[in-house]
Amino acid sequence: MKTAKKTGKRTKALRVLVTILIVGALLYLGQVLYLLRADSPRGFVLPEGNSAKGKAAFVALNCVQCHTVYGIDLPTPPADQAEEIVTLGGPRQSAKTYGQIVTSIMHPSADIYANEGRYVNAEGASLMPDYKSEMTVEQLVNIVTFLQAHYEFFVPDYDPRFYYAPYNYITP
């Protein structure tokens, strides 16, 4: 009888310990998911950036050879490249997320359409240099912070002439 009581106490203690471990693991997992914020527009978390340092890095890394930033005075790119200049920022109908800007910098070919014919080499890869080995994480987050601040999201005015209406039905 004593052995049965001891075994029952051990089993109960083991259940309590397992419950505590499971609850602790769930709390830890919840904390990790909160930090990752999978529902955030970033989809991941990098350190906060500094826009002024981002502008300086943008110039220092010669991004101004091929890019301008909407509404910002930057060194002027060479005149012979005027046709190839890509303006970043400005009003857009779709939001440019933090993750999209990071991807555009770290893997520019992912955002380029080879069939467009512009901004690509003969193999269809982006003309943008590979900065993965040349840029620090600090420069990356600062540049992304600088660029993201210059995108303006807007919703265009609705005009039924430009949207699909089934069976040619347009409300009066």
Cβ–Cβ under 8 Å, residues 147 and 88: yes
Do 21 and 60 belong to one domain? no
Strands 151-153 and 90-92, bridge-based pairing: parallel
Find where tokens 């039905």 sit: 169
Do 30 and 77 belong to one domain? no
Q: Would residue 44 count as lying in a domain?
A: no
Cβ–Cβ under 8 Å, residues 92 and 154: yes
- pLDDT tens for the 172 residues of the chain, in order: 555 566 667 777 788 777 787 777 766 666 655 555 545 555 566 788 999 999 999 999 989 988 889 999 888 877 776 667 888 888 877 667 778 888 888 888 876 765 566 778 888 788 888 888 889 999 999 999 999 888 887 776 766 666 555 555 555 5
Q: What is the DSSP letter of 92?
A: E
**Number of domains within the chain:** 2
Q: Would residue 42 count as lying in a domain?
A: no
Q: Would residue 21 count as lying in a domain?
A: yes
Domain that holds residue 57: 51-153
Return d(Cα 7, Cα 56) in angstroms, integer.
69
Name the token pair of 58: 């943008």
User: At 82, which CATH number?
Assistant: 1.10.760
Strands 90-92 and 86-88, bridge-based pairing: unpaired
Q: Would residue 149 count as lying in a domain?
A: yes
Specify the pLDDT at position 84: 75
Do 32 and 101 belong to one domain? no
